[in-house]
Structure 1
């Protein structure tokens, strides 16, 4: 029997719309092994999540049928295994876990799905997250700060605020999705030559995105800058990326922010922050997720 099978204590699963990640953990919350697959919610046949999960674990972990499983992400959404009710801001770990959903797996042990979080803005509109809340509580644990501001770059970038150990508010920005749609399906991105990395064009975009109060108008500059030779045709996507990120960062109120996520995308945000005189600190998204889940599991088991 391998060391993994001898010391595995529980499993952690981050199950999203497009991707699946599972982590084997020991009793001290040390990761023993992990597996990543393009098996998001939309790839699960007939919504049979138990069968899909068992197919991953079978042959990987000999004693998986005895291990509890703790899950987070879109697996707890309307499209997921169970539609788990959101916890509302302002929220701490104990409040979040009051909404956690527990159930028995078909092969015996208990599973727990961590809920997402909702926030109602001053206008009355709601915002939501699933999975990022775990990273944010993990971040607070890692940096040992009860009050902080954080950005989680991604398809739908999240800006969150913590005050005295509670997530008090957050907002979503469709920066990543807009970049994808605009660069693929509009006149701004179609017919471009192979692109090069251009920090000059990116920073130009950041500055112009920061200054504009009319983003949909300023976006057209991705075309006119080419026509008047202000940027090269092979720099357009870097300019467009900078423009969208710069405009997103207009919402920041403080001069220090934690960047949580993948290193490559966070590096772009870090360059933008530096240009805008915003101090930023990068922390790995995986590190934050595992730290957050470890802490939440401890609170669950103590309760």
Structure 2
């Protein structure tokens, strides 16, 4: 009887290991069928599998898939920077000199104010250590819709789908009034720069995308003295936004530059019919991207 039990344990152990290794190899083979073999990626994949099998680590989100989990796309893994924070804080405000110089060239400021002094003034006005993501600590699957401004959304009837998401991100002047059935009416986060600012609802977070030092200084004065009313076009002297509802990060403009250029090269090689209509996104959530480059048939959650 003891011999039979030991034999059963050995058989079970062998079968378990065989299934595990086979599953891993099949998954890895599927991942690299269109890419070159990379030993580092193999090691990373194996490490991920071991952690999942024996350590059961806490996943970055409770969704079926999480964007920060490695192993789903070698192309994405090589470009995703998990150390870069989405929002600027007093703790991560430093930027390498070469990256800063590149950022300054975006709109060619001739005599920009000192960036460190500007950030110091900024964090005296807005919180420099908070987390502007709503309920980020809640371990639940959040759904996010990123909405473009293209006319392709007209008569799409996506409004109800868009408004059903936990987070709805819009950009620039993003008209919704009169187009609710197509683009929805809900907004939780609104991406702007000074020249594209529009008055926001009280519960909407303003996400600044700064392209020059003056953009950061504009936020400071727009919440205090109102002295800046012109950049290269007229901009509002004052804005009505709660200070704790303001966030942004000029480093993201620098950090995603190379990845975006690579993505543009990838997309430019695809036939229009093969372009994606939706993609997994940020915030550790499931994200539907209502893109503005294609007429959409149906975009939903991933």
Higher relative contact order (CA 8 A, sep 6+): 2
Report which of the two structures shows the higher radius of gyration computed on alpha carbons: 2
Q: Same fold (TM over 0.5)?
A: no
Q: Please give the TM-score of this superposition, normalised by the length of structure 1.
A: 0.28
**Structure that is richer in strand per residue:** 1
TM-score between both structures, scaled by the size of structure 2: 0.28
